[in-house]
Structure 1
Amino acid sequence: MSHVKQFSGLALFICVLQMANSETIENFLNIEFVRVPAGVSVMGTEDLEAAAMEMPEPDVNKLHDESPAHTVVFEQPFFLSKTEITQAQWLKVMENKPGPENNWQQKNWRDLPAVSISWFMAQRFAKELSKLDKHYNYRLPTEAEWEYAARAGSTDLRPWPLDDLEEHAWFINNSGDEPQPVATRKPNAFGLHDMIGNVWEWTADWYASDIYKQGRRINPKGPEKGNARVRRGGSYHCPLHLTRVGYRSADDPGKRYSVLGFRVVAEKK
């Protein structure tokens, strides 16, 4: 039995416990945050063979940065925004309208995820929101926090059966190749929406292809320096093989794309 397998039952127990005892908070802008419990989980892709079967052959070599799958421990719970930050939330804080003009002309523009957000812009949003809020500070989640929250107790390629993917995620098969209003797909077991699909999400961490080999297991954080920041979760434009919870991607922190947004962690002041 692998080290990862030994902990899978505990991780699933945490998932069930959270489903029965979910807790949320809401800030002054009515942004809702879900309590992600302290606990133990898997990080990385355990079944590389199954993942490879979904991928185009030229991309299979990229799986190396998802291994080895390993056990991670989070000693404290944290509050993660229930959805990606929306255009309405961005506008209230930053007073500008990033992204394609068409997104802002839709009837449902308020509930569309804010996109064309660079990592630096996401950081500025968190900083400005922290200034405005008397009770909470905000930050981007670490890559490990993001995957832990996205897995919600699962050790599989996805937190739900493949046949249920379209009920939980917006991707190329069902999105019309356009961003969709947040929280219009089913949440994961922690109560978080769109952790897979709709838009890619920035994390706080620098990217390193070998970070999983470095043995960071307790409250893990990324490397201290790098050239690209990690983004996770896939988007409305992504094919099936990019909708896996363990899939890793990274980009220049100054880049902006219409498929790229973020969510934030809230911490008491």
Structure 2
Amino acid sequence: MWTEEIVAGRPAWRHTVSGVVFREVPRGTFRMGLSDAELDAVRAIERSGGAEDTLEAFFAGAGNARPVREVRVEPFLIARHPLTVAQVRYWLPEYEDDYADKDSGTARLEDDLDDLIEAMPFRLPSEAEWEYAARAGTTTLTFRGDGKPGEDQLLDDFGDEERTAAAENAFGLAAMGSANEICADVWIPGFAAAPTDARPRIGDGNRTVRGGAADLYPWQGCDEWLLLLSATRYEHAQFTAVRPVAPLPSR
């Protein structure tokens, strides 16, 4: 079911039948959530004139990604990038996408979401797994640092292998934050009493979403870059992308 290979100079696992490429994320601990240092970095961007509008709403909602806590994560596989239209069609042959221009573009699912989750032999990442993978060992706003992320950080189509490889973080993952990616956790504002391991918080209601800056492209100057931040989280409402995870294959 799995084939080990080198993709863009890094070890990878390819799911043989679907062709989806996964990266192995190592065991580790990290500080999950929007830290004081990250809030200060956003304030610095605002003071320097980098914000298009007032960021009062962002700061007012910062508690949704706090308090920061240390989380322990066990190793797992996660897809190199969100599933594309072509990849979704492996499990849902009749799938049509109203948002992607090409089959190599990120698939955004609405009514077909539950059908895909049921059909795949994979699961959704927990929020902790997603943020750990997005940070890839960093503690800054994005894996590229505390500077204001720009539209050049967006990646929504994976037909160009060179561009995809150039967008990878230290774990070999591309486009973390570009599309709104759904997680296994139910939406709960804030991290009070959240587990200190990577288990998802489960229950009734909508799931949590991470990322989404490309969903508003072309940017209209409303500070869409905030959706690229590793700690940004919100409640799922409409369409969503899927980046599946899997346990490590046995060697």
TM interval, shorter chain, is: 0.7 to 0.9
**CA–CA distance in structure 2, aligned partners of residues 23 and 164 of structure 1:** 30
State the match for 1:180 in structure 2: 157
Q: 135, 143, 152: which is aligned to 1:151?
A: 135
Q: TM-score, length-normalised on structure 2?
A: 0.77
**CA–CA distance in structure 1, aligned partners of residues 210 and 75 of structure 2:** 20
For 1:216-227, list aligned pairs within 5 A: 216-222=195-201, 224-227=202-205
**CA–CA distance in structure 2, aligned partners of residues 67 and 250 of structure 1:** 15
State the match for 2:119 in structure 1: 128
Higher helix share: 1
**CA–CA distance in structure 2, aligned partners of residues 169 and 123 of structure 1:** 29
- Equivalenced residues, count: 219
Q: Say what the alpha-carbon RMSD is for the aligned residues.
A: 2.6
**CA–CA distance in structure 1, aligned partners of residues 14 and 172 of structure 2:** 14
Over residues 40-68 of structure 1, what are the superposed CA-to-partner deviations in whole Å (9 max), with x where a residue is unaligned?
11100112233354562233210011111
State the match for 2:33 in structure 1: 44
| Matched position secondary structure for 1:194 | coil
**CA–CA distance in structure 2, aligned partners of residues 49 and 218 of structure 1:** 27
8 Å CA contact 1:169, 1:196 repeated in 2: no
State the match for 1:65 in structure 2: 64
State the match for 1:251 in structure 2: 236
**CA–CA distance in structure 1, aligned partners of residues 152 and 23 of structure 2:** 17
State the match for 2:171 in structure 1: 190
State the match for 1:88 in structure 2: 86
State the match for 1:200 in structure 2: 180
Q: 103, 116, 119: which is aligned to 1:110?
A: 103
Q: Is the counterpart of residue 97 in structure 1 residue 88 in structure 2?
A: no
Deviation at 1:219, TM superposition (A): 2.6
Q: State, as a whole percentage, how many aligned pairs show the same letter.
A: 24
Unaligned runs of 5+ in 2: 1-8
Instruction: Specify the code of the residue in structure 2 equivalent to 1:202.
Output: I
**CA–CA distance in structure 1, aligned partners of residues 170 and 114 of structure 2:** 28
8 Å CA contact 1:207, 1:250 repeated in 2: yes
Instruction: Specify the code of the residue in structure 2 equivalent to 1:196.
Output: G
Unaligned runs of 5+ in 1: 1-20, 131-137
8 Å CA contact 1:98, 1:114 repeated in 2: no
Deviation at 1:215, TM superposition (A): 4.5
**CA–CA distance in structure 2, aligned partners of residues 125 and 215 of structure 1:** 28
Q: TM-score, length-normalised on structure 1?
A: 0.72
8 Å CA contact 2:177, 2:212 repeated in 1: yes
